[in-house]
Structure 1
């Protein structure tokens, strides 16, 4: 009797080499092995579970007609347990062209429901919905006759994540494993000395800094950025380093609207009883995209030119009106801003709205017209890249962080050399060497850029006899 011939179906990934690299950058040094391909195995839940259950960490990758590649990662096995899964490492992602975003699970929320249905993330985003080549995003649930917004396990906009195109052309699931062939000693794209001696050297350089202008005793550095990007946290972090322990002098947090409602100038002392250091960090209300909210661009112009006093309370509905007597005399160079720092959350670079980008562009034009030095501080790099979260020294090895630096550079129109990744102190109780080195390096660059500004205007300050 002749045996029936069995035809083995080989499955191949839809990912290009560049797309695979982008996804691996989101995950760190990993290897992806294709487990399930919906066009081959079927868009039904049973086919998904047959191939993906008990496989360890997995990455779901969906494709739609609009060219978006998106999905989610979970570090916990699929097992059809019927339980709500806690997974702090879970995240959603999207790749569209050269842009990629990663959206971490919000703390305190369950990452997914581990049932016998199709894969879901936070019971918010369902793939292969109703055994069809479709994705479904749930924003509301019904209790009786009342329609209620569900808890947001992941904060995302469907238009940004997948272009509001719910029809899938493919859905794949990959097993995620550490890549044994990737060397931890990759060549960094910026050189940094991660030593206690280097930290001490940077602190000494900053202590002894003298502005190029003799009429200026302290460099005034203005922090500008969206709500929650980390402006106040940067001051707290620098203050912590020179105090010798973690402090929280400036109000900071993650509220939806700005916690800073006043213009604040924060000097930093060299130790609790030490002398003032040669710089002042100026904190502003956060930028918001809607009109009548957040910091007004006219207020920024007044700050730059030294007209707004410390503790002035911002009014989003009406810009600052200087006193007539004071406005008749120009502010001294000592009162003006010498370096502007744009503070950008590296986890939200690709999520920045057009309105917010337009506001930043307007501010940039004003700062350019005054010739003031500008730097971009890219915060929360540990949250953006798992490689960096594991070891902060990997920040200048990570190709993902490098791509984000380039994206910021292109979006804001500043040179790559002016974009500085940092990690502020947020949940730590003790100071950390690597964190200090990044923060102090950024501050040193701000002082250098301010000197470039002074150097440019120095001839103007010479009084004719």
Structure 2
């Protein structure tokens, strides 16, 4: 039995990782993320997370905060049992530094999940991209935010507008994602492209999608299954492979893990780079 399992393992993983990750050396990316500051004075990098309900958008925000603080931290409320869209309103999350009164130069916006029923409307996500949705707006699955509403921002500043659009999708349910959700993701991505906003995808719950990754997170870029699913997702929604990042969020652990931190920090470094490029292009 042991020989059989070993044989199956080697059939399902590549001999070498197909993407380089600095396992065991997270400090380099940690310093990069912590020291990031936009070149433009007073500029704030805004990252908008969207995707199916229960994908792990709030958990990713909490995981980033935990990694940067060096301890578990819960800021964005997350639901451990998916019964629909847990996040109902447009929320901005500033990431706290070690000093409670100071924050990093990037912020996350969490948004109601894309669902077939009672999910956020594509039109509302498009409004958020342009900075027209104010903090605290409770999404209405039946109709988009009207201009006369008090939560409609008629004159968004450069800091209100989104600089990176991130599609968060659970890897374990990726094969069963319905066509309607895929089309919504494509529609939102096309609007972001029109606005000159870079798009990135984060695949969460990779340990639940693949046994080899569950056994050892370092297999994330050796797993043939994961690469195949990433390629399929890339082809379906149009996001290039080099803009898709698999991660494992913290959701049941009480202590941090260097391997989990490494994937999160590597992803954050790329989000920051894409966002900085967007800021500089719009300022030119």
With normalisation by structure 1, the TM-score equals: 0.57
Q: CA 1:182 to 1:299, structure 2 compared with 1: closer, same or farther past 3 Å?
A: closer
Residue 191 of structure 1 corresponds to 20
Q: Distance in 2 between matches of 1:269 and 1:410?
A: 37
Q: 1:263 corresponds to which residue?
A: 90
CA distance in 2, matches of 1:186, 1:276: 42
Q: Is 1:320 matched up with 2:145?
A: yes
Name the counterpart of 1:444. Answer: 269
TM superposition shift of 1:274 = 5.9
Tell me if 1:227 matches 2:53.
Answer: yes
Structure showing the higher strand proportion among its residues: 1
Q: Does 1:208 align with 2:60?
A: no
CA contact (8 A) 1:221 1:280 kept: yes
Instruction: Specify which of 160, 163, 170 is matched with residue 345 of structure 1.
Output: 170
Change (3 A) 1:188 1:235: same
Which whole-Å deviations, capped at 9, do the CAs of 1:232-285 have from their partners, x for residues lacking one?
A: 000010111122222222121232211101111000012263620111011000
Q: Tell me what 1:282 maps to.
A: 109
1:380 is the counterpart of 2:208: no
Q: CA 1:213–1:412 in structure 2 vs 1: closer, same or farther (change >3 Å)?
A: farther
Secondary structure (helix, strand or coil) at the match of 2:5 reads: strand
Distance 1:181 1:202 in 2: 30
The structure in which a higher percent of residues are helix is 2
1:296 equivalent in alignment to 2:121:
yes
Mapped partners of 2:9, 2:163: distance in 1: 48
* 1:410, distance to aligned residue in structure 2 (A): 0.8
- Indicate whether 1:362 and 2:191 are aligned: no
CA–CA separation in structure 2 for the residues paired with 1:220 and 1:288: 24
SS of the equivalent of 1:348 reads: helix
Q: Distance in 1 between matches of 2:128 and 2:203?
A: 23
Aligned pairs for 1:102-251 within 5 A: 177-179=5-7, 182=10, 186-195=15-24, 198-216=25-43, 218-251=44-77
Q: In the TM superposition, what is the alpha-carbon distance from 1:324 to its structure 2 partner? A: 7.6
CA contact (8 A) 1:244 1:271 kept: no
CA-to-aligned-CA distance 1:316-347 (integer Å, 9 cap, x gap): 12211244899795311111111000001111
Question: Could you tell me how far 1:405 is from its partner in structure 2?
Answer: 1.4
Structure 1 residues 315 and 181: alpha-carbon distance in aligned structure 2, compared to 1, 3 A threshold:
closer
Structure 1 position 351, deviation (Å) = 0.4
Distance 1:201 1:252 in 2: 29
Aligned length: 282
1:359 counterpart SS class: helix
Q: 1:368 to 1:176 in 2, by over 3 A?
A: same
Deviation at 1:300, TM superposition (A): 0.9
Paired with 1:305 and 1:181, the residues of 2 have a C-alpha distance of 47
- Is there any run of 5+ residues in structure 2 with no aligned partner, and where? none
2: distance between equivalents of 1:301 and 1:457?
18
Q: Secondary structure at the match of 2:172?
A: coil
Match of 1:409 among 205, 209, 234: 234
Q: Which runs of 5+ in 1 are unaligned?
A: 1-55, 58-174, 460-465
Larger Rg: 1
RMSD: 2.4
Normalization by structure 2: what TM-score? 0.92
Residue 262 of structure 1 aligns to a residue whose secondary structure is coil
